[in-house]
Each structure stands twice: as structure tokens, then as C-alpha cells.
Amino acid sequence: MIDDTLSDWLRIAWGFVSGTFMAIIGYFLPVKNIVHLLLLFFFLDVIFGYWAARKVRGEQFSAKIIWQTTMPRMIISLVLIMGAYMWDDVFQQEMVCTYKVIGWFICGVLLANIVQNGYRITKWDMFLGLGQYFKIKIKDKINIETNPKEADNENN
């Protein structure tokens, strides 16, 4: 009798947990393409960053660097996109989808980093021009510097 009760309770608890998890996934389904693209760009940024660091500075691969820099940036980026999606959804904000703007900006910065690392690896001037194009496009669209350190140096 106790085994049946415990078994029923575990089955009900599992149904609740899995149902809640699936409801959360279903709620965030509209942002899945942005999240997938963001994960791809973070992955490519790590690969090209490692390749550039190895070629330019002779550094060895270090998982510590990924856990100290890339993972926090990726998690914060995902939280920002999902938070902005919830914000847009709760306030029924449809004029400008904030989560798309945030995803666009973060992916743009990652793409610019990939292009810069491509230049460091190959020294092909096309990558340098393309990186500058991305920076200008991001700055023109939302008036935010992709590298605040450079903006501070220009203002001084």
C-alpha cells in the first residue's frame, strides 16, 4: 500500500515537474531562433578567439577563460533576451520587439568579434573593413558604441 502511494505520488510529482518545464519552454518558443543564433555565435566566437590567441600570442586552450568570460556573457545575454521577451509579452509591447533589438545587438557584437579574430588570423584587409562596417552599422542603428573603451578615448 505504501509502495503504491509513493509510486503514485512520484508519478504525479514527475508529471507536474515535466509539465511545468514544458510550459516554460512553450512560453519562450518565440525566442528560440534568437537563442539558437546567439549560441552559434558564442560558439564560433570561442573557436575563432582561441584560434587567434593561439596564432597571435601562442596561447594554449584554457577552459578557465571560457568559464570566466564566455559563459557569464552568454548566460547574461540569454537572461536579457528572455527577460525582454517577458517584458514585451506582459505589457503587450508590439511596436518594437525589445527582445529582438537586444538579440540583434548582442549577435552583431559577437559577429564583429568573429570578424576581428578573422583579421587577426589571416591579416586579410577585407575582415578589417567588414569589422568596421559592423561597428558603424550597430552604432548608427542604436547609437551605442560596441567598445566603450574606444569611445572614452575618442571623447578625451
- Distance (Å, whole) CA 99 – CA 155: 30
The packing angle between helices 32-52 and 71-90, to 10°, is 160
Q: Which residue has the higher pLDDT, 151 or 69?
A: 69
Helix extents (H) in 91-124: 98-122
pLDDT band for 148, please (50, 70, 90 cuts): low
Please state, as a whole number, how many other Cβ atoms lie within 10 Å of the Cβ of residue 90. Answer: 8
- Distance (Å, whole) CA 87 – CA 60: 42
Please state, as a whole number, how many other Cβ atoms lie within 10 Å of the Cβ of residue 147. Answer: 11
Q: What angle do CA 112, 115, 120 make, to 5 degrees?
A: 125
pLDDT at 69 over 60: yes
Identity of residue 72: P
Which is nearest to 99 in space by CA: 156, 36, 9, 35?
35
* pLDDT value at residue 52: 87
Question: What is the tens place of the pLDDT at every residue in 78-135?
Answer: 999 999 999 999 998 778 889 999 998 899 889 888 888 888 888 888 888 887 787 7
Question: What is the tens place of the pLDDT at every residue in 47-67?
Answer: 998 888 888 888 788 888 888
Name the pTM for this structure. 0.74
* pLDDT value at residue 146: 57
pLDDT at 156 over 70: no
